[in-house]
Structure 1
Amino acid sequence: TTVPRPGPIQRPSAQLQMIPGLEGIIGADALQLGRVFGTPRLDVIEDDARKLQWTGTACILDIYLYPQTGSSKPIATYADARRGDGREVDRAACVAALRKGR
């Protein structure tokens, strides 16, 4: 008997995180984010996901990019912000602080 080959894996698109203050960030690609924040401190690619990280005196910002249905280009779907000691920071405030730092 022959075993049928599995078809391509269909991954669902990541949901976009819509938070006031993150307009222009969520939905942006890596090049657009680089224009806003400069060169990321970290750029980690794992499977089809990508994490970019920027740091400043006020906070650390991680932005996660995933490809969306119908496109192979990953876009920012989620952002997380924290202080150097790990405590949470308002994401919009962190984005604003890192934009000013440029």
Structure 2
Amino acid sequence: MIRRLAPLLLPALALAACSTPSGPSSTPAVPSEKPANMREAGLERVIGKTAAQLTALFGPADLDGHEGQARKLQFVGPVCVLDTYLYPSKTGAEPVVTYIDARLPSGDDIDRASCIAALSRRAAAP
């Protein structure tokens, strides 16, 4: 029975071996260019900025987390929550924001530029 199934199984096993990754990469991929959806008007106040520049704009982060080379800073205001993701552009470089996400406190989506503007006003308030 196995002899009859072998011709059918060998091509399947060979195909499976081709699709198996060879192993984890030794260095994580670092985004080198802004994704297309990060080129919207109003996002330039945050995209490409360092953690210090974000703190100057919004005040201290409400959450500061690290995972590998990535850093996530979260800023929370009464209007929205802004998540900023910072990556070094090259090994040893200071991380800068390459991606942002925004949501209402309820979890629903909000326009990212509107959230940036609202949080900027929060930091400017006495």
TM-score range, shorter chain: 0.7 to 0.9
Structure 2 length-normalised TM: 0.70
Distance 1:19 1:11 in 2: 27
The counterpart of 1:26, out of the listed 40, 47, 53, is 47
Counterpart residue identity of residue 93, structure 2? S
Distance 1:74 1:38 in 2: 18
Equivalent in the alignment of 1:5: none
Larger Rg: 2
Q: Using CA pairs below 8 Å that are at least 6 residues apart, which structure has the higher relative contact order? A: 1
| Structure with the bigger percentage of helix | 2
- For residues 29-71 of structure 1, the C-alpha deviation after alignment (integer angstroms, 9 at most, x for no partner) is 1001100000000000111000000011110000000111365
Q: CA deviation at 1:82?
A: 0.3
| Structure with the bigger percentage of strand | 1
Q: SS in structure 2 opposite 1:19?
A: coil
Runs of 4+ in 1 over 6 A off after TM superposition: none
The counterpart of 2:26, out of the listed 9, 12, 19, is 9
Aligned-CA RMSD value: 1.6
For structure 2, list consecutive stretches of 5 or more residues without a partner in the other structure: 1-24
Counterpart residue identity of residue 87, structure 1? D
Q: SS in structure 2 opposite 1:96?
A: helix
Identical residues among aligned pairs (%): 42
For structure 1, list consecutive stretches of 5 or more residues without a partner in the other structure: 1-7
> Is 1:41 aligned to 2:78, yes or no?
no
Distance 2:86 2:48 in 1: 9
